[in-house]
């Protein structure tokens, strides 16, 4: 009888330890997520000063996009899919209104990330194409609903009234996923 009670108590204690370990793990994961998210949003003082900003793109999964602000200007960052990259590279540059290769608009070794200003070069509207379900236009990029400009998956103007590609801001990679804008 005493043996049965001891076994029962032992089991209970082991269960508690497993639960306690699980809870500690959850806290650790929670703590890890918060810095990742906060790294996407530079602090207000840095933004206000117009200084370069550091952003870790690790949380931006393939097919996702984020918006940033630097010096008061909207910036899009898209982690492009293989299909989007292939489409961007396959274009005959001579046919473009604002001829630029995809290589001129991305960094070697980091072609999956496209980083561009986020205001249409026609009259400044914000093109759609970042959120899931957004229209991406006829070229897998962005669609400006104001007057119907279509940008491709390299942010180049392909159709509609906009005269120029979405410009690439000054930036550099400091690692596989870390960039400094400015
Ligand atoms: S502002 Fe984008 S098409 Fe006119």
Domain extents for the chain?
Answer: 1-41, 49-181
pLDDT at 18: 31
Q: What is the pLDDT of residues 57-109, one digit of tens each?
A: 999 999 999 999 999 999 999 999 999 999 999 999 999 999 999 999 999 99
Q: Would you say residue 36 has pLDDT above 90? A: no
What pLDDT sits at residue 11?
36
Q: With contact defined as beta carbons under 8 Å apart, do 171 and 179 qualify?
A: yes
Superfamily of domain 49-181: Rieske [2Fe-2S] iron-sulphur domain (2.102.10.10)
Check: CB of residue 77 under 8 Å from CB of residue 114. yes
**Which of 125, 143, 151 has the most ligand 1 atoms within 8 A of CB, as the residue to mutate?**
125
Q: Is the pLDDT of residue 3 over 50?
A: no
Q: Supply 95's token pair.
A: 């046919």
pLDDT at 40 (0 to 100): 57
Instruction: Answer whether 160 contacts ligand 1 (Cβ < 6 A).
Output: yes
Q: pLDDT digit string (tens) for 120-168?
A: 999 999 999 999 999 999 999 999 999 999 999 999 999 999 999 999 9
| Residue 79 known to be catalytic | no
User: Can you give the pLDDT at residue 44?
Assistant: 65
Q: Which residue has the higher pLDDT, 43 or 11?
A: 43
DSSP bridge pairs for 53: 181
């Amino acid at each position: 009888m005493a043996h049965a009670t001891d076994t029962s108590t032992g089991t209970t204690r082991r269960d508690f330890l497993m639960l306690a370990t699980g809870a500690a793990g959850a806290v650790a994961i929670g703590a890890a997520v918060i810095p990742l998210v906060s790294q996407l949003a530079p602090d207000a003082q840095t933004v206000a000063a117009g200084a370069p900003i550091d952003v870790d793109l690790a949380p931006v999964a393939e097919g996702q996009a984020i918006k940033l602000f630097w010096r008061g200007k909207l910036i899009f960052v898209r982690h492009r899919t293989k299909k989007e990259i292939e489409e961007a590279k396959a274009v005959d540059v001579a046919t473009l209104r604002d001829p630029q290769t995809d290589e001129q608009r991305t960094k070697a070794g980091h072609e999956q990330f496209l980083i561009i200003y986020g205001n249409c070069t026609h009259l400044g509207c914000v093109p759609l194409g970042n959120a899931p379900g957004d229209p991406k236009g006829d070229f897998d990029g962005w669609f400006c609903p104001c007057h119907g400009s279509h940008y491709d998956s390299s942010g180049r103007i392909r159709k509609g009234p906009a005269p120029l590609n979405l410009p690439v801001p000054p930036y550099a990679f400091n690692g596989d996923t870390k960039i400094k804008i400015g």
